[in-house]
Amino acid sequence: MKRIIVGLALVVVLISFKGLTDKYVVKYPVSWPKPVYDFKEKPLSKKVIQLGRDLFYDPVLSADNTISCSSCHLSYSSFTHVDHDLSHGIENKIGRRNSPVLVNLAWQKHFMMDGAVNHIEVQGLAPITNPLEMGEDLNRVIDKLEKTGYSFKFKEAFGSEEITGERLLLALAQFQLTFISQDSKYDRVIAGGEVFTEQENKGFLLFNKHCNTCHTAPLFTNGGFENNGLPLDTVLNDLGRFEITQNEEDIRKFKVPTLRNISYSYPYMHDGRFKKLFDVLKHYQRGMESSSTLSNHLKDGLSLSNNEILDLIAFLRTLDDKSFVFNPSYAFPKEK
Amino acid sequence: MNIQGKFKEKELKFNHYYSLEKDSAQITSLKFYLSNIKFLYQGKVKFTSKAYYLVDLSKDKMVDIEIPKHLKFDAIIIGVGIDSTKSVSGVFGGDLDPQNGMYWAWNSGYINWKLEGNSNLSTKRKQSFIYHIGGYDKEQNCYVEKEFVLKGESLNLELKLEKLLENLFSENFFLMMTPGEDSKKCNQYFLNALVQK
């Protein structure tokens, strides 16, 4: 009897130990707000993350097998489509919007520039099925995955070979939830390990005065929707949040993006109209168009001198996180 | 629970033309979600089923709901569609898997019911009518619960399609695929057409 009990105890310990090693814990500074994603309720699994990574880089998700998530979300540019104002999908089709960075997604309530997607676990559906992006059908993707050896990978990740929409989307979400950027110069200054240069410090003070209300530290976004006075591009005719809520108060409002890794994410704004940070700040200095939905925080204009613009840019550069863009676990998975 | 599609008192046949007064219509697709099914006894909720059911009337005639043994009930409340909490809680599998084609990729949320077909009354391409009715956020909310007082041992429901289509066509609604006020109107017609036998 004793032997049986000892044997059982050993088995129990081994099983729970294996469970522990597969769990992936997302680390972030204690001073940060609590993530929106409930990691306690839905812990991440290393195996599911690995599967998500394979899928993220696999163009099989697209109708003509040429476009993967990484086509518009490249890890070396903080997961955005660098140097493209609008992204292009299958068959050289051009999309409507600029690809955003994928950073600290666990803190986001809304996804896409107009907040069309309400949860990271369902976000993958949008580009996969958008005819201008990957142009595929979920069931066809699953069929292709079954034929290209993914059943084994799904078994590794989920315990059985079944490939479902739920599992596919969850794997993509879990991989993206690991994208945590918290090691910029700014973070190190706040933690006490470094100091700003004089110019960066000037920029920091200007930032707190003019920008922090919407681009709130430490995430550098308040997660809300604002109209920042961009004149309407009458060809794209993108009314932003209004297209989802149909609420007139939301006309031309777009999700406030994070400013982290901003040097890597040019061109800027929802349609990539500004190539340089200097252009962005010039817009705020004197380019804003008045309208009924213009942000309350911008209605009085932003008085910035040209020197102040340079100071601000110096500060914004301190939000760049090299360890994030060169993180090997975000990059293209190499075969073992 | 039995659910039957009915067209003018006869069981609904898919891809078959029916006559509506002087005109005709055929149904090619009819699917909907039922959820949060509550069992009541003498006005009090005794049990709530946590399951979500996708009913495809081209193949499903019965919905089996697991309830505790010896549960006494005299009325049932059924949610038509998916409630707002579930709609913002991420991805799910089984009947809720986006593979079922009942989830909007471009504006997160479930399609509560899908009805597609053709009619010579339709002014749209291929004389089609397409209703993908959903929406959960505030004024766009289309999730509604309906109560049925039990008449016998099991609940037998009918979806009176000729009535539903006549109402929809009378408003000139042939294509409805985004949440909003018009979708809510369509949704009300659907609920009105879902009756106990």
Q: State mean pLDDT over A314-332.
A: 96
User: How remote is the C-alpha of A210 from its chain's centroid?
Assistant: 24
Question: Under an 8 A CB cutoff, do A245 and B180 touch?
Answer: no
> Which of A274, A272, A226, A230 lies closest to A250 in space, CA to CA?
A226
pLDDT in tens, A235-280: 999 999 999 999 999 999 999 999 999 999 999 999 999 999 999 9
CA distance B116 to B130: 5
Residue A17: predicted pLDDT: 53
Q: Please determine, for residue A20, whether its predicted confidence score (pLDDT) is greater than 70.
A: no
- Cis peptide bond upstream of B68, omega within 30: no
Closest partner CB to A118 (pick from B88, B93, B180): B88
Per-residue pLDDT of chain B (197 residues), as tens digits, is 666 666 555 566 566 666 666 678 888 899 999 999 999 999 999 999 999 999 988 887 777 888 888 888 899 999 999 999 999 999 999 999 999 999 999 899 999 999 999 998 888 899 999 999 999 988 899 999 999 998 777 788 888 888 899 999 999 999 999 999 999 999 999 999 988 87
Question: Under an 8 A CB cutoff, do B103 and A125 touch?
Answer: yes
Closest partner CB to B107 (pick from A116, A138, A139): A116
Min Cα–Cα distance to chain B from A98, Å = 16
Number of cross-chain residue pairs from A and B with Cβ atoms under 8 Å apart:
67
For chain A, list the strands marked E by DSSP.
23-24, 44-45, 225-226, 254-255
Q: Please determine, for residue A287, whether its predicted confidence score (pLDDT) is greater than 60.
A: yes
Min Cα–Cα distance to chain B from A116, Å = 5
CA distance B87 to B138: 12
Closest partner CB to B98 (pick from A116, A125, A130): A125
Single pTM value for the model: 0.90
Amino acid, res. A172: L
Is residue B171 within 8 angstroms of chain A, CB to CB? Answer: no
> Which of B97, B98, B40 lies closest to B72 in space, CA to CA?
B40
What mean pLDDT, rounded, does chain A reach? 93
Is residue B88 within 8 angstroms of chain A, CB to CB? Answer: yes
Question: Under an 8 A CB cutoff, do A119 and B137 touch?
Answer: no
Q: Please determine, for residue A26, whether its predicted confidence score (pLDDT) is greater than 60.
A: yes
Give residue A210's pLDDT band: very low, low, confident or very high (50, 70, 90). Answer: very high
- Most B CBs within 10 A among A169, A247, A248, A255, hence the mutation to make, goes to A169
Residue A212: predicted pLDDT: 97
Is residue B87 within 8 angstroms of chain A, CB to CB? Answer: yes
- Identify whether the C-beta of residue B23 lies closer than 8 Å to the C-beta of residue B120: yes
What tokens were used for B27? 């149904």
Instruction: Give backbone dihedrals phi and psi of B116, rounded to 5 degrees, phi first.
Output: -135, 150
Question: Under an 8 A CB cutoff, do A164 and B97 touch?
Answer: yes
Who's near A261: CB < 8 A, 6+ residues apart? A78, A101, A103, A181, A184, A319, A320, A321, A324, A325
Question: Under an 8 A CB cutoff, do B93 and A165 touch?
Answer: yes
Q: Please determine, for residue A6, whether its predicted confidence score (pLDDT) is greater than 60.
A: no
Residue A40: predicted pLDDT: 94
Residue B172: predicted pLDDT: 92
CA distance B2 to B61: 6
What tokens were used for A55? 């899928």
User: Where do the H-state alpha helices sit in A23-147?
Assistant: 46-56, 69-72, 120-123, 125-129, 138-147
CA distance B73 to B82: 24
Closest partner CB to A165 (pick from B90, B97, B109): B97
CA distance A36 to B80: 29
Residue B135: predicted pLDDT: 93
pLDDT in tens, A301-312: 899 999 999 999
Question: Under an 8 A CB cutoff, do A118 and B87 touch?
Answer: yes
- Most A CBs within 10 A among B106, B136, B178, B182, hence the mutation to make, goes to B106
Q: Please determine, for residue A336, whether its predicted confidence score (pLDDT) is greater than 60.
A: no
pLDDT in tens, A42-72: 999 999 999 999 999 999 999 999 999 999 9
On chain A, the residues whose CB falls within 8 A of the CB of B90 are 42, 119-122, 173
Determine what percent of chain A is predicted with pLDDT higher than 90: 90
On chain A, the residues whose CB falls within 8 A of the CB of B107 are 116, 244
Determine what percent of chain A is predicted with pLDDT higher than 70: 93
What tokens were used for A136? 């595929």
Pairing outcome for strands B75-80 and B175-176: unpaired
Question: Under an 8 A CB cutoff, do B99 and A42 touch?
Answer: no
